Amino acid sequence: MFQINENNQSKYACLFASCCITKGENRALISDTQRGTFELIPNDMVTFLEHAQHHNLNSIFTMYGEDNKDILESYLDFLLQDEYIFLTDEAIKEHFPPLKKQWKSPHIISNAIIDIATYSATTTYYNDIIKQLDALRCQALQIRSYTTLTIDEITHLVTAVKDMSIESVEIYTSFSELLTPQVLNTLLFEHTKIATIIIHSAPYVNDIEVIKGLSTIHFTEEVLASEQCCGIVSKKYFNPNKDVFMESQFHNTCLNRKISIDKDGFIKNCPSMRNHYGHCSKHTLDEVVHNEKFKVLGNITKDQINVCSACEFRHVCTDCRAYVEDPSDIYSKPLKCGYSPTTNTWEEWSENPLKQKAIAHYGLNQLIKA
């Protein structure tokens, strides 16, 4: 247990630069962006850390008074134990400035989605799109098929990516008896750009790690019936890494530098959006990414979004601009989030009476019932 004494009272409590704090309405989140972990802390602890930037421990303990000595000691104990802070001298503290808030990317497009309802018989269709994504220095590609892809079709898609800038591919396909773990295992060993294959609508659940830390196969009973299944906000998708944390300060955590081709071939920010920028048979992806309107959604930050702006999870959370609580207000909270930063509780979003109008607007009723 930490105790203030003559050996440490002249020290300063210095936050490790990789540990970032997000203050919410009632509590805060401390994210260790290097380790990829986060913990909830009281807002009072944040105030204490703010004071600690400018005052040594002796001054702070004097400022807070004897009544608060135990609580300050417990804060320091927690912060030191979990390695969020270190104690240092005033002269040395200046050598540990906080992390500069900035985000840069060499990718014109960093991530893309290609949706498939029925696999195109025109073999050049996917090759053309992938070549265009390569020219935009796309890094990650998600291919989502709402029906079953054969092993030949999957092989064709990943072969098209082989010598391209795309570094990782995530494939969703519906279950088939022919897509066995053995067959998929072989495919992942042959095509190392495949990060994940998700077999949805499966009769069982199975998670297989094929190459340690690099590629996985997931069989899930969840049904991916259409693009309407996307957009769910959940704790399991929170990502406390430095890149996401910094990107979220300036851009949208889902739509920044994302481009999508929906199941009918229309170019969009995301396949769930009604608005499109033309058909890929008539327009190039390059034309679309230079359209100023295309960039608007990618620059909406969590700090600008109603409710999210007061949420302690906002810089580790995903976002969704395709399904929002108030469809007439693009700055309203994601519809499929059940968290309230006011009560600090999670609820099933689809059962909230205040969301029913938006659920009907987006035609999600059937999906929810299923």
Which residues lie near ligand SF4 (CB under 6 A)? 230-231, 233, 254-255, 270, 272, 302, 307-308, 311, 313-314, 317, 320-322, 333-334, 337, 339, 341
**DSSP state, 75?**
H
User: How far out from the chain centre does Cα 225 lie?
Assistant: 22
Q: How far is the CB of 54 from ligand SF4 (least distance, A)?
A: 30
Name the residue nearer to ligand SF4 (CB basis): 87 or 297: 297
Name the residue nearer to ligand SF4 (CB basis): 14 or 358: 358
Quickly tell me which residue has 């591919």 as its tokens.
169
Cα torsion 299, 301, 307, 308 to 10°: value is: 130
Q: How far is the CB of 231 from ligand SF4 (least distance, A)?
A: 4
Q: Are strands 27-32 and 19-23 parallel, antiparallel or unpaired?
A: antiparallel
Name the residue nearer to ligand SF4 (CB basis): 76 or 230: 230
Q: How far is the CB of 349 from ligand SF4 (least distance, A)?
A: 9
Would you give the end-to-end CA distance of the chain in angstroms?
52
Q: Please name the residues in contact with 162: beta carbons below 8 A apart, sequence gap of 6 or more.
A: 191, 193
Quickly tell me which residue has 């990516």 as its tokens.
161
> DSSP of 161-194, one letter per residue?
HTTSS--EEEEEEE--TTS-HHHHHHHHHH-TTE
**DSSP state, 26?**
S
Q: How far is the CB of 356 from ligand SF4 (least distance, A)?
A: 18
Name the residue nearer to ligand SF4 (CB basis): 33 or 272: 272
Name the residue nearer to ligand SF4 (CB basis): 276 or 302: 302
Q: How far is the CB of 273 from ligand SF4 (least distance, A)?
A: 7
Q: How far is the CB of 300 from ligand SF4 (least distance, A)?
A: 10
Name the residue nearer to ligand SF4 (CB basis): 56 or 142: 142
Is-contact 190 210, C-beta < 8 A?
A: no
